[in-house]
């Protein structure tokens, strides 16, 4: 952590140079008012205080106080402005990293933990490089300055005696160092887990109500909150103990120092002015010691947060190194004897996948739940490392040879989950293509069969859909997602069970629109409804990760296999629903 901070400080020499120089000047100026008090009292004791001397002492005293204020404002504002700049840069850096990491990473890190790292941990690091730097510069220089002036202008003997308890305090803090580190990390992790619980509760609140589990979940949450409180209290005990030890030993330091300096005054070694100044210096030294104890706490908190942030910045998602080849269009997709298993599993999910798809064709992928349909399309999206066995070729080259960013720009993806942003309908659709014209916008909406729904919305495209689209229906969410993909006019359109929430009539309309506007583009449709792939050029039937049937819809019906049985079942369900 210290090396990282030092590298950042070296990148901003002007800001930290100003802060350090002005902090040193402030430490020196802070001694001037006390020195004037010492001279003022000594002049009274020896009856040597004249009007000129009085005005001189007062003038120097007030000028130094004003200078201290101005200098402190300059260096503190400079330092903390740079601290906020550091937080901003670090937050942008981590956010950029998160955008480039793929699915395997997000399977290891939960949302609440990531939110804690992006907020609290970065704030703590900002405090460390800001407040911590201030404590180090101001309190170290202050301590050195005070000890120097005490030795030079009062008594080195009294100074040496008074700092003995402070040395003991430093030893105690050192012994507690490692324990506080562990407690900080435990407390921080418990808060992150609690954040995960809150996010899950927000997502599942309607399910909890529907199943009458509100009281049970409340009790569970109360239990977890109590655990967080217990860990926080343990940390408070140690933090508080350091504070009380500091209070005890600084008080002991002042008591010993004043007693011994009083003895030196009685022996004529110190003057009364030196005694009073010595008392003031001791009070200032105690404040510096308190600041040095804060350094320990700030450092430990920052060190824990640094480890959490560094874990994100150095995290990998196990994907292959990004390819360098560029691609302008997708002419041909081919899977050859391809096999895949998830990084967290030893079981093979996809086996012996063989098929090819030419530009302008539509591929349908069907099968039972858990048969590997979504896993298959995720290979095209490069969400996981390419399998060790077999190949995926795009335009005759391995998919991993292409730039991931370049490939992403050619694909329109509509996932099973409705990934919508808590903004307007228009914002969510334009997310697919920010530069789309109004004409293109209307065409995408019409192709997704969303025009009538949009007219019925009070604010049209400006209608706020709420977090994750909570204020619109499931079918509307899917059609907004489809419009977002279509407005991109992608080379490859992937619909992953994206029509499950719409009725059969709407499904037919969307499929017909897609077939009409995308005659020269490639489409992949994953579905449970065979009607969605009735006009597909090719259909794959998956079972346990293998292709058990492949061909045109008419060929599969003629084979009278799984596709035929499922088709007949769904046709009977349609007839029954029409008769009701």
CA distances from 7 to 14, 131, 175, 309, 321 (A): 14, 18, 29, 16, 28
Cβ-based burial of 174 (10 A; exposed 0-12, middle 13-18, buried ≥19):
exposed
Long-range contacts, stretch 40-49, CB < 8 angstroms, 24+ apart: 40/273, 41/272, 41/273, 41/276, 41/277, 42/271, 42/272, 42/273, 42/274, 43/273, 45/271, 45/272, 45/273
* pLDDT at position 52: 77
Long-range contacts, stretch 61-67, CB < 8 angstroms, 24+ apart: 61/32, 61/33, 61/36, 61/37, 64/29, 64/32, 64/33, 64/36, 65/33, 67/29
- Residue 481, H or E segment: helix 474-486
Across 252-409, the runs of DSSP E, i.e. the strands, are: 332-340, 350-358, 362-367, 389-394, 397-398
CA distance 279 to 297: 28
Residue with tokens 């009083």: 262
- Which stretches of the chain score pLDDT less than 50? none
Q: Are 339 and 345 in contact (CB under 8 A)?
A: no
Residue with tokens 């069907």: 366
Tell me, which fold does domain 332-410+490-579 have in CATH? Rossmann fold (3.40.50)
**HEC readout, 229-250:** HHHHHHHHHHHHHHHHHHHHHH
Segments making up each domain of the chain, as ranges: 2-313, 332-410+490-579, 420-477
CA distance 484 to 432: 5
* pLDDT at position 205: 64
- Residue 562, H or E segment: helix 562-579
List all residues 6 or more positions away from 432 whose beta carbon is below 8 Å from its beta carbon. Answer: 412, 444, 483, 484, 485, 486, 487, 488
Say whether 332-410+490-579 and 2-313 share the same fold: no
- Kindly state the DSSP code that residue 40 receives in the 8-state scheme: H
CA distance 111 to 93: 18
The tokens for 114 are 């990531």
* pLDDT at position 143: 76
The tokens for 215 are 């009281």
Q: Are 75 and 23 in contact (CB under 8 A)?
A: yes
The tokens for 83 are 């601290």
**HEC readout, 283-296:** HHHHHHHHHHHHHH
- Kindly state the DSSP code that residue 201 receives in the 8-state scheme: H
* CATH number for the segment(s) 2-313: 1.20.1560.10
Strand partners, 333: 357, 394
* pLDDT at position 548: 92
Full-prediction pTM beyond 0.95?
no
316-361 pLDDT, tens digit per residue, is 766 767 778 888 889 999 999 999 888 777 788 899 999 999 999 9
């Amino acid at each position: 952590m210290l090396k990282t901070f030092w590298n950042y400080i070296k990148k901003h020499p002007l800001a930290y140079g100003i802060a350090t120089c002005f902090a040193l000047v402030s430490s020196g100026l802070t001694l001037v008012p006390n020195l004037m008090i010492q001279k003022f009292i000594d002049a009274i004791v020896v009856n040597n205080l004249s009007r000129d001397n009085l005005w001189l002492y007062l003038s120097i005293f007030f000028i130094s106080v004003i200078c201290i204020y101005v200098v402190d404002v300059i260096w503190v504002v400079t330092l903390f402005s740079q601290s906020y700049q550091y937080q901003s840069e670090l937050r942008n850096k981590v956010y950029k990293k998160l955008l480039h990491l793929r699915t395997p990473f997000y399977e290891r890190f939960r949302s609440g933990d990531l939110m804690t790292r992006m907020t609290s941990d970065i704030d703590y690091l900002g405090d460390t490089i800001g407040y911590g730097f201030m404590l180090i510069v101001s309190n170290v220089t202050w301590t050195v300055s005070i000890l120097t002036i005490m030795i030079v202008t009062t008594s080195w003997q009294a100074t040496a005696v008074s700092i003995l308890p402070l040395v003991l305090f430093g030893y105690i803090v050192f012994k507690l160092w490692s324990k506080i580190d562990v407690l900080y990390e435990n407390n921080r992790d418990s808060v992150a887990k609690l954040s995960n619980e809150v996010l899950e509760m927000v997502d599942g609140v309607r399910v909890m109500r529907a199943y009458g589990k509100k009281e049970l979940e409340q009790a569970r949450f109360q239990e977890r909150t109590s655990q967080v409180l217990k860990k926080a209290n343990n940390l408070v005990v140690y933090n508080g103990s350091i504070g009380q030890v500091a209070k005890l030993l600084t008080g002991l330091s002042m008591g010993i120092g004043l007693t011994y300096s009083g003895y030196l005054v009685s022996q004529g070694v110190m003057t009364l002015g030196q005694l009073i100044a010595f008392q003031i210096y001791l009070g200032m030294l105690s404040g510096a010691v308190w600041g040095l104890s804060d350094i320990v706490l700030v450092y430990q908190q920052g060190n824990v947060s640094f480890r959490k942030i560094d874990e994100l910045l150095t995290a990998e998602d196990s994907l292959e190194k990004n390819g360098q080849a560029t691609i302008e269009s997708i002419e041909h997709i081919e899977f050859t004897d391809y096999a895949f298993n998830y990084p967290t599993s030893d079981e093979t999910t996809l086996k012996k996948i063989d098929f090819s798809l030419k530009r302008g064709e539509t591929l349908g992928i069907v099968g039972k739940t858990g048969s590997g349909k979504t896993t298959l399309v995720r290979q095209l999206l490069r969400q996981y490392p390419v399998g060790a066995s077999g190949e995926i070729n795009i335009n005759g080259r391995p998919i991993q040879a292409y730039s991931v960013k370049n490939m992403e720009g050619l694909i329109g993806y509509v996932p099973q989950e409705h990934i919508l942003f808590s903004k307007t309908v228009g914002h969510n659709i334009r997310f697919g293509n920010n530069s789309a014209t109004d004409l293109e916008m209307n065409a995408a909406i019409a192709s997704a069969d969303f025009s009538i729904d949009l007219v019925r919305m009070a604010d049209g495209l400006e209608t706020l859909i709420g977090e994750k689209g909570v204020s619109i229906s499931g079918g509307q969410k899917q059609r907004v997602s489809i419009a977002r993909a279509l407005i991109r006019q992608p080379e490859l359109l992937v619909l992953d069970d994206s029509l499950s929430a719409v009725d059969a009539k709407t499904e037919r309309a969307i499929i017909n629109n897609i077939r009409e506007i995308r005659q020269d583009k490639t489409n992949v449709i994953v579905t449970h409804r065979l009607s969605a792939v009735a006009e597909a050029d090719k259909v794959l039937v998956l079972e346990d990760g293998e292709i058990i049937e492949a061909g045109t819809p008419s060929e599969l019906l003629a084979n009278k296999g799984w596709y035929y049985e499922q088709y007949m079942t769904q046709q009977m369900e349609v007839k029954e629903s029409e008769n009701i």
